Structure 1
Amino acid sequence: MSDPKILTTEVIDYACGDDTGILMPAHEAAFRAAGEAFLTEAFRAFGSISRMNSVARITRLDPCPGGSTGHKLFLSVEYAFDEPGLQRDLFVKFSRDFDDSRRDHARHEMESEARFAPVSRASGFPIRVPAAYFGDFEHASGTGLLITERVAFGKDGIEAQHEKCCDHEIDDPLPYYQALITALARLAAAHKAGQLVDDIEERFPLNPARAGPDPITYDEAALRKVVEGARQFAQDLPQLLPPDLRAPEFYDRLLADALMIREHRDLLAQYLVGSQDFIALCHWNAHIDNAWFWRDRQAALHCGLMDWGRVSQITFGAALWGCLSAAHLDMGTRHLDALITLFAEEYRLHGGPAIDADGLKQHFFVHVGMMGVARVLALPKVIRLRVPDALQASGPLDPMILNDEAARTVLHIYTMLLTLWSRPDFQNTLDRVLGAANGPTVR
């Protein structure tokens, strides 16, 4: 069997940033060679240090494991002299991975993240993000570099990092999602209120085709096969799903809904982008592992958001799904209405248009249904591939599931989709939206 890590393109050492014009190192060896001189030039150009200051010495430069795209490094530096707010412990992220074709294929995800970096540095930015020290991208080669402050997980009042789809380890997950939803709503509100940089629309123009769910590409026969796979998964591995998501009649309804969503996918897509009040610059993947948390003196929980790859103007359905899809299932059952109401209230209070919470929930459910048909309903086959012995698993918290990050994440997101789909108000939403456009829906 061939090694999946193969060189897919000619290795380049440097690229010229489209915004700053600075020659950026494209990988770790080039970064080490560029050293303090590059950091000084980059930080000065970005306004991170004054023109009189410089990076005097690199004191740490170590690989950072993990992630789904380019290489990452832990960087620590000393400056010629201190300035207010300067961080010594930093984080370096390359867009490229010249050794792994799959990771390098995602290199353009950093383009909008690099464009976002100077926006996040602007005075009065509404939410906490890692302070950007440099960010730029060369579109022609897909080569970018981002340097930010390093979040000190587990130190100075910051909680240890929370893993995705492990909310069962948190005594009370609700405040964490209240903090995440609050941050998303306040950023969206600041955009709509014109409180971000003056050229925000030029930096992040709305692309309706990419603002919402992935496109539905199945024909009817293929979609029937996908739903049949979901039904078979519930029959073969019932212990991996909650009891109410195993019943045959649920999958009968799931099939009818999925076929209806596919048939009317263009109408539903247009519905999602039909109102500018429900679209704004936002984080598309605000899962709990892409945030850090701390408490104030009154013990209220707050969060910052990191990993801004693919940041853009998106629908609120996409923003809410990107946050709640990996949340504790209680967020989709007991607390969903309150969280959606919280988003609508924070959005209005911080400068966004007044939107109705019921309308926002309807918008969210339409996105969930379309994203489910487009991608999520097919996830059982991934679980079967990742955990071939899943029949022996005691449940979703069995170590053979929990210890495989991909299997754990895929199973949880799939279960959250079915949990939301099983709600009566989800069914009512589909009937209401399609009925408004086409007349009464017949099931």
Structure 2
Amino acid sequence: MGDHWVIGDHYGLPIPATADALRDGGEVFLTNAFRAFGVLGGDNRVVRIDRCEELAGGSTGRKLLLDITYADPRPDLRTDLFVKFSRDFDDPVRDRGRTQMAPEVVFAALARAPGFPITVPHPRFADYHADSGTGILITDRITFGDNGIERQYHKCLDEDMPRPQEHYRALVTAVARLAGTHRSGRLPAELSAAFPVDLRAATVGEPVVMSPDRLQRRLSRLGEFAESHPGLLPPHVRSPEFLACLGDEAHEVLGREEQIWRSLRDAEDHIALCHWNANVDNAWFWRDDGDVLHCGLMDWGCVSRMNVAMALWGALSGAETALWDNHFDDLLALFCRETEAAGGPRPDTEVLERHVLLYMALMGITWLLDVPARIHHRLPGADASTTRSDPRIRDDEGLRAPLQMLTNVLNVWQTRGLGRHLAALD
């Protein structure tokens, strides 16, 4: 079948690594794949690919919009599908993330289990070849803005979202129900056991090696950025007093990194199967007849058993700062209640808050302190009058999202007093 086909580890079928490969062998492959996955009867088959259109976006792999025709169309057989490849042979940076699909393939099988507690895009086929990092995931397509589903919301643009607090409550509820159901033991043990507890593996891209000198350089640049770009950070996180405190505590976070990871790992009642990046751009929302808002979650790369604080940071990291200021305590309490209601052990709210803040601090010093350098490089004309509503920032997720996340890190660090949470580690 060509160079861009491999034999999948789970079902033993040839799987395509590229869109072109899928186009060439599509009808036969899709028929065999859907039959192997148990979503297509042996008396039916895919007879035609009507649309095979590449879709831009995401941090790894290529994506496709796929429309197909069956020999025997049936109501339960969706013809509008979404295809995700683990590979991007034209972009080495994106291709390095190919291993993220390995757990996503297992999750696709788990999501088909009876009584699965949350809504995800219905899986039609998924397989992965570990030696090459080649995988494919095919699901039903989410039809944003149609059939009762709200339009898609983009990361770090919550001002465009109606009633953000309600949406984040639905989001946190979904994350908690999966965590609680997993801890209840009601999910198939043979599939649940396939997800490791490897907290540091939940990341996109190569881990950043942070030395004290490198950290100090980034902190110094942050101070210069806060002074020269006052429109891009809130006043209370630009004060010399806070920035001096931040510098001392950031070095303490770096020095206690192993202790923080150990604290996250050893909190056994807080370890559960979670979506690592349940931001609003990886969710969709709809209302039932009682006007209750519901949330489904997609893009399950890096899914694993982790400290639930990591999942909460992933869900809330791109929210408006006001949500953290006004609703974070309520969302923590909601998460704990919903986890217990789903059958899991009730997380300790105080410990959960501490873990969210400590994980946030690690992510902040590792991934987000380069925001000043990024803006300087990509937006050299930014000055004291520039704000985040500047179209060059607002319309560029690569600038908008990390700036909002950095703002949240600094705000929470200042308003919640990270120092007391570091002291609680002793």
Q: 1:63 to 1:158 in 2, by over 3 A?
A: same
Q: Is the 8 A contact 1:211 1:315 kept in 2?
A: no
Q: Give the alignment partner of residue 56 of structure 2, picking from 55, 60, 65.
A: 65
* Greater shift in the superposed pair: 198-207 or 358-367: 198-207
Aligned-pair CA distance for 1:358: 1.8
Q: Which amino acid letter does the alignment assign opposite residue 190 of structure 1? A: T
* Greater shift in the superposed pair: 51-60 or 30-39: 51-60
| Map 1:290-329 → 2, pairs under 5 A | 290-329=282-321
Q: 1:421 to 1:163 in 2, by over 3 A?
A: same
Q: Is the 8 A contact 1:211 1:313 kept in 2?
A: no
Q: Is the 8 A contact 1:110 1:137 kept in 2?
A: yes
Residue matched to 1:222: 214
Q: Give the alignment partner of residue 42 of structure 2, picking from 40, 48, 51.
A: 51
Residue matched to 1:12: 3
Aligned-pair CA distance for 1:110: 1.3
Partner Cα distance (2:357, 2:321) in 1:
16
Residue-by-residue CA offset, 1:38-77 (whole Å, 9 max, x unaligned): 1110000001112222113222222222222221111112
Residue-by-residue CA offset, 1:92-121 (whole Å, 9 max, x unaligned): 111111222222222111111112111111
Q: Give the alignment partner of residue 142 of structure 2, picking from 127, 134, 151.
A: 151
Aligned-pair CA distance for 1:83: 4.2
Q: Which amino acid letter does the alignment assign opposite residue 197 of structure 2? A: L
Q: Which amino acid letter does the alignment assign opposite residue 398 of structure 1? A: D
Q: Is the 8 A contact 2:286 2:293 kept in 1?
A: yes
SS at match of 1:62: strand
Gaps of 5+ in 2: none
Q: Is the 8 A contact 1:128 1:304 kept in 2?
A: yes
Partner Cα distance (1:22, 1:212) in 2:
29
Q: Is the 8 A contact 2:229 2:386 kept in 1?
A: no
SS at match of 1:164: coil
Residue matched to 1:104: 95
* Greater shift in the superposed pair: 127-136 or 257-266: 257-266
Alignment of 1:285 onto 2:281: no
Partner Cα distance (2:208, 2:146) in 1:
44
Q: Is the 8 A contact 2:69 2:79 kept in 1?
A: yes
Aligned-pair CA distance for 1:172: 2.0
Q: Is the 8 A contact 2:267 2:307 kept in 1?
A: no
Partner Cα distance (2:365, 2:54) in 1:
38
Q: Give the alignment partner of residue 398 of structure 1, picking from 359, 383, 390.
A: 390
Residue matched to 1:131: 122
State the TM-score, normalizing by the size of structure 1: 0.92
Residue matched to 1:21: 12
Q: CA RMSD in A?
A: 1.8
Q: Is the 8 A contact 2:203 2:302 kept in 1?
A: no
Q: 1:216 to 1:28 in 2, by over 3 A?
A: closer
Q: Is the 8 A contact 1:382 1:410 kept in 2?
A: no
Partner Cα distance (2:297, 2:358) in 1:
26
Q: Is the 8 A contact 2:7 2:15 kept in 1?
A: yes
Q: Give the alignment partner of residue 389 of structure 1, picking from 381, 389, 397.
A: 381
SS at match of 1:204: coil
Q: Which amino acid letter does the alignment assign opposite residue 67 of structure 1? A: G
Q: Is the 8 A contact 2:201 2:302 kept in 1?
A: no
Q: Give the alignment partner of residue 170 of structure 1, picking from 143, 161, 174.
A: 161
Percent identity among equivalent residues?
42
Residue matched to 2:28: 37
Aligned-pair CA distance for 1:401: 1.0
Q: Is the 8 A contact 1:261 1:370 kept in 2?
A: yes
Alignment of 1:357 onto 2:349: yes
Alignment of 1:199 onto 2:201: no
Q: Is the 8 A contact 2:45 2:71 kept in 1?
A: yes
Aligned-pair CA distance for 1:171: 3.5
Residue-by-residue CA offset, 1:198-235 (whole Å, 9 max, x unaligned): 21343112225436999773232222212111111101
Aligned-pair CA distance for 1:85: 2.4
Q: Give the alignment partner of residue 250 of structure 1, picking from 242, 253, 256.
A: 242
Aligned-pair CA distance for 1:428: 2.3
Residue matched to 1:233: 225
Aligned-pair CA distance for 1:82: 3.9
State the TM-score, normalizing by the size of structure 2: 0.95
Partner Cα distance (2:154, 2:405) in 1:
14
Partner Cα distance (2:12, 2:208) in 1:
40
Aligned-pair CA distance for 1:419: 1.1
Partner Cα distance (2:208, 2:329) in 1:
27
Q: 1:187 to 1:147 in 2, by over 3 A?
A: same
Alignment of 1:140 onto 2:153: no
Partner Cα distance (2:307, 2:239) in 1:
32
SS at match of 1:56: strand
Residue matched to 2:329: 337
Gaps of 5+ in 1: 1-10, 438-443
Q: Which amino acid letter does the alignment assign opposite residue 204 of structure 1? A: F
